[in-house]
Structure 1
Amino acid sequence: MFRVTIRGAFEGLDEDDRAALRTSIDSFQVAFTEAGTFTCDRSLSAFTFRCQVPAGPDDGEAEATERAVRALAAHGYPHRVLRVGVTDMRDIKIRRKGKRH
């Protein structure tokens, strides 16, 4: 599983786009989902898009980035990508606290 964070800027939003974004964005609902979630500033200029991308056995960051950008484009808002961060969750090590005596 990959978690991808895309930071970008909206470009050329019309009033319908702005209205849809204002009603759909919940700043308390920040999560990595396969469809992706947006957070953005009040002016609807800058945004952060978070999505979760399933990983195949040979998938790397480039494939995850490509799928995340497609998920972002599927929302249909005109934008430009400024920065992409990818975390391969298969590489995350979980430290479990042991019992103390």
Structure 2
Amino acid sequence: MFRVTIQGTFGDLSAAGRASLLAGVDVLQAAYTPAGTFTCDRSISAFTFRCQVPADPTDGEHEAVQRAVAVLEAHGHPYRILRVAATDLREVKIRRKGGSGGPANH
């Protein structure tokens, strides 16, 4: 599983597209989901798009970014990508409290 964050700017949005984004953007609900979530300012010029995409065992960052861009495309808004970051959750180490391997409690 990858979490991909795409930062960009919107192109010429239609009135319906602008209204749809304003209605659907909730900063408190920003999450990495398979359908992706947008956050943007009230002027609807710049955005951050968060998307969670599945990964096959041989998939790398390139494949994950391609899948996330396809999800972004499906939203149908004109855009220009400025930055992309992908995190491979298969490589994330979880540190647990109180387990072995940590410093001893004295």
Give the superposition deviation at 1:90: 0.5
Query: Percent identity over the alignment?
Result: 63
| Gap regions ≥5 residues in structure 2 | 100-104
Cα RMSD between the aligned structures?
1.0
State the distance in 2 between where 1:57 and 1:98 align.
31
Give SS of 1:31's match: coil
Larger Rg: 2
TM-score (norm 2): 0.91
Q: Which residue of 2 aligns with 1:91?
A: 91
Give the superposition deviation at 1:16: 1.1
After the TM superposition, which residues 1-101 of structure 1 pair with which residues of structure 2 at under 5 Å, given as runs?
1-98=1-98, 100=105
Give the superposition deviation at 1:26: 1.3
TM-score (norm 1): 0.96
- 1:6-53 Cα offsets, whole Å, 9 max, x none, are 000001011111111111111110100001000001100000000001
Give SS of 1:39's match: strand
| Gap regions ≥5 residues in structure 1 | none
